[in-house]
Structure 1
Amino acid sequence: MAGPFCCMLLGDMGADVIKVETPGVGDQTRKSMGFRLKGADSGGFLALNRNKRSVEIDLKNPAGLEAFYALVKDADVLVENNRPGVAARLKIDYATLRAINPRLVYASISGFGQTGPWAKRPGLDLIAQAMTGVMSVMGHPDQAPVKASVPIADLGAGLFAAYGILSAVIGRDLTGEGQFIDASLFETAMGLSVWESAEYWGTGEVPVPIGSANRMSAPYQAVRASDRYFVIGAANPKLWAALCGVVDRADLLEDPRFTDNVLRIRNREVLIVELEREFARRTAAEWVDALLAAGVPAAPIYNYAEALSSEQAVARNMVLKIQHPVEGETKALGFPVKLSGTPQQVRHPAPLLGQHTDEILGEIGMSPQAIDALRQAGAFGSVRVDTAAAT
């Protein structure tokens, strides 16, 4: 997911993203997930590949490599998401491509980075969460290990790579030269472990799972009302006092176990017992309304059906409708950052495999005869894509 997510973000911001895919096979996420829509591509592929165009190129074929080098010659950025060593074997590594285009910003995203004793290990989001400590603090004490269901290492690596790419593009404006960017799932998951590393270095104690609670303040977690759970975040003395007022427990302010944040964290379990005794008197919705009225952060816990249809998601355009040449109207997540002067747009739906091969090669100056010659040499596989019909 990391490379496709990174390039989708760049495409959303206006980059012309060309997705280079293996002829007849394509990105493996075209076949992922346990459900299909109308066409051959999965919902997961559609979710990660808007604002891209697809070309089929066989990088193991000399003619295919020739076509790829032609694309690289005037490209601004290349992103590859393979295990270290694969790009060199394919002759598309940074050293090779830099000789063709010194201005190229080349980003490699891998499981563990390009160096170190674990560099050649297979890298998945699950593996990164396991080997960075993230899984060790997920869930509740004395339960089986769990991972963050949202793939934070995969998607976070895509975010960090995009951040590195944009920084390098700015740097190229000053130096005239591109550079190599080395991003990894491992360093992403570790880099996001801000509170956990601070706790370990500050106390010498290894962090443990604490459920929905927070390591830096209490109460700051899910609590149970008469009908369901909801969340509260009384993260400073003012909010703590307001919370005690809402639940009519002024005595908690004087309780020696809870007089400051350090003590409330230390005595979190008994504190939540005291609060849930009061919360059991009313519904979650009633408590959320009362707490918000008092200025205390509180919220219901939504499932995805509720979250995606919420008035805030609607107001912030977080559900987009995109027309796809096979699927028809599809839904996609909206842009998570809004730009006032150059707002993001959906210019392309997720592409069909090889949909834009002839179109893109024509744009870089290849004649139809030259493209056909490369095709006859096996550069793009054996099947010609009907781009007019696909478009």
Structure 2
Amino acid sequence: MPTDFKEQHRRHDPKKGPLSRFTIIDASRVRAGPAAMRVFADMGARVIKLEIPPGAPGGDDMIGGRNHNLADYENLHRNKESLTLNMKDPAGLAILHDLVKRADVFIENFRPDVKDRLGIGYDALRALNPRLVYASISGFGQDGPYARWPGFDSIAQGMGGLMSVTGKPGEGPMRVGIPIADLCAGHFCAQAIMTALLEREASGEGQWVQTSLLEAQIAMLDFQAAQWLVDRKLPEQVGNEHPLTVPTGVFATKDGYLNLAAIGNAMFARLCEAMNLQHLVGQPGYESDPARVQNRDTINKTIGEVFLTRTTREWTELLLKVGVPCGPIYQINEVFDDPQVKHLGIAWPATVPGRGEVAFVGQPFRLSRYPRAQSPRLAPEQGAHTQAILNELGYPDEQIDRWRETFVV
């Protein structure tokens, strides 16, 4: 086998990004795994996405696929390569093994029994490449009573406690408007992979990193979980309010809504002064956050009536001037029209055939020595890189053609 594949991905290329020396084999599907790999792809790593060959039994019905939702597919799979490969076929499994020997990371989200049955479990691939970082994302963990349960974001939101503290009191549990369990599992997985790659620099060995939608969702409970674990206080739904501080939340204005976060006595005093409600400061029941929580409805009614006298913009300018955190509440289109959002440049411009000029959501961090590319590489067509990758591994065109005929690739 030629060595150019290995040499190519081991060589750091500053022009391609800070992670250009790493090659990742992405056998994950749906959202959590692809979201994790998007971080690496955007930072220059070579991410080879495995897809079922066209026409093969059990073809790729991935949620967010190109035929399902073009916008989602492009945003999720930009900067990646696509290799069609049937891992159930012995020849396809052999090709995967060739890739794994040269890769730094392998990521999957199969059920534990499925990946072992396919021969692509951690022990099998580690035997081929001891330096491999093997990453698994599951719904509920690699073992335990729920290990074989299918993992879906909304289920994890419910079982992870998020829905019990989301929404207004008395209206029942509420799912949040984004796939937060999927996305957080993906980002936590990316952190775990980064950690394992850093550790490998010292030990020389890879390892198995794992996360699950359930664990990710529970971790995101943060202070809400701490209220129960430490104080045995059961958090409840408070709608747009903050459970521990008052006044916070959404208030109607003359022309819309305002988000307010007047936390602590100093901010409360500044808020009251700006609203000509100085008489409230220090009153019994208003003297601290815990006291104000007990009188939430009275305080909100009082300041709510005053908020109706001015526009959102007028209140925002006035309150920010005196150091009270607040801001408008945007529709998605308004988010990307905001001057600060435009300044940050998180909307990543691209040209999509048939769509023209569009934009994707960029990574929410930046590196001083690696400015982001002017535009991302578009998500690949299914199997767009199959020929080139197999040629790099040393397979001749004739063999690849035979494999295509039998749906190996």
Is the 1:67–1:379 Cα contact (8 Å) retained in structure 2?
Answer: no
Correspondence for 2:160 among 113, 132, 143? 132
Partners of 2:220 and 2:169 in 1: how far apart?
21
Structure 2 counterpart of 1:354, one-letter code: G
Correspondence for 2:325 among 290, 294, 297? 297
Instruction: Note if 1:367 corresponds to 2:384.
Output: no
Partners of 1:343 and 1:175 in 2: how far apart?
31
Partners of 2:328 and 2:236 in 1: how far apart?
26
Deviation at 1:67, TM superposition (A): 1.2
Is the 1:53–1:348 Cα contact (8 Å) retained in structure 2?
Answer: no
Deviation at 1:296, TM superposition (A): 0.9
Cα distance per residue 1:228-285 (max 9 Å; x no partner): 2211111122211110111111111121111011112232222111110211222222
Is the 1:138–1:148 Cα contact (8 Å) retained in structure 2?
Answer: yes
Structure 2 counterpart of 1:26, one-letter code: D
Correspondence for 2:198 among 160, 164, 170? 170
Structure 2 counterpart of 1:6, one-letter code: A
Change (3 A) 1:336 1:81: same
In the alignment, what sits opposite 2:377? 348
Partners of 1:328 and 1:99 in 2: how far apart?
47
In the alignment, what sits opposite 2:45? 15
Identity among equivalent pairs (%): 38
Structure 2 counterpart of 1:368, one-letter code: D
Structure 1 counterpart of 2:225, one-letter code: S
Q: Comparing 322-331 with 230-239, which one deviates more in the overlay?
A: 322-331
Q: Look up the SS of the partner of 2:98 in the other structure.
A: helix
Q: Kindly report the root-mean-square deviation, in angstroms, between the aligned alpha carbons of the 2 structures.
A: 1.8
Deviation at 1:87, TM superposition (A): 1.2
User: Where do 5+ consecutive residues of structure 1 fail to align?
Assistant: 381-391
Structure 2 counterpart of 1:197, one-letter code: A
Correspondence for 1:2 among 13, 27, 32? 32
Superposition map of 1:142-221 within 5 A: 142-221=170-249
Partners of 1:266 and 1:360 in 2: how far apart?
64
**Higher relative contact order by CA 8 Å / sep ≥ 6: 1 or 2?**
1
Partners of 2:371 and 2:133 in 1: how far apart?
24
Partners of 1:299 and 1:336 in 2: how far apart?
20
Report how many aligned residue pairs link the two structures. Answer: 374
Cα distance per residue 1:48-69 (max 9 Å; x no partner): 0001000100111111111111
Is the 1:18–1:55 Cα contact (8 Å) retained in structure 2?
Answer: yes
Change (3 A) 1:68 1:329: farther
Cα distance per residue 1:322-375 (max 9 Å; x no partner): 234565543211221111112343552111001110111222333323433443
TM-score scaled by length of structure 1: 0.91
Partners of 2:364 and 2:250 in 1: how far apart?
25
In the alignment, what sits opposite 1:81? 109
In the alignment, what sits opposite 1:71? 99
Instruction: Note if 1:280 corresponds to 2:308.
Output: yes
Q: Look up the SS of the partner of 1:141 in the other structure.
A: coil
Is the 1:64–1:378 Cα contact (8 Å) retained in structure 2?
Answer: no
Change (3 A) 1:344 1:166: farther
Q: Comparing 139-148 with 298-307, which one deviates more in the overlay?
A: 139-148
Structure 1 counterpart of 2:349, one-letter code: K
Q: Look up the SS of the partner of 1:69 in the other structure.
A: helix
Deviation at 1:313, TM superposition (A): 1.6
Instruction: Note if 1:229 corresponds to 2:263.
Output: no
Structure 2 counterpart of 1:352, one-letter code: E
Deviation at 1:302, TM superposition (A): 0.4
Structure 2 counterpart of 1:350, one-letter code: A
Deviation at 1:295, TM superposition (A): 1.4
Q: Look up the SS of the partner of 2:281 in the other structure.
A: helix
Cα distance per residue 1:283-340 (max 9 Å; x no partner): 2221111111111111010010000121112111111222345655432112211111
Correspondence for 2:386 among 351, 357, 379? 357
In the alignment, what sits opposite 1:384? none
Instruction: Note if 1:29 corresponds to 2:63.
Output: yes
In the alignment, what sits opposite 1:387? none
In the alignment, what sits opposite 1:383? none
Is the 2:200–2:206 Cα contact (8 Å) retained in structure 1?
Answer: yes
Deviation at 1:151, TM superposition (A): 1.3
Is the 2:348–2:376 Cα contact (8 Å) retained in structure 1?
Answer: no
In the alignment, what sits opposite 2:26? none
Partners of 1:272 and 1:328 in 2: how far apart?
47
Partners of 2:360 and 2:60 in 1: how far apart?
21
Is the 1:29–1:42 Cα contact (8 Å) retained in structure 2?
Answer: no
Change (3 A) 1:347 1:69: farther
Structure 2 counterpart of 1:73, one-letter code: K
Correspondence for 1:306 among 308, 317, 334? 334
Change (3 A) 1:185 1:225: same
User: Where do 5+ consecutive residues of structure 2 fail to align?
Assistant: 1-30
Partners of 1:22 and 1:370 in 2: how far apart?
18
Instruction: Note if 1:94 corresponds to 2:122.
Output: yes
Partners of 2:391 and 2:244 in 1: how far apart?
57
Correspondence for 2:408 among 371, 379, 389? 379
Partners of 1:65 and 1:201 in 2: how far apart?
46
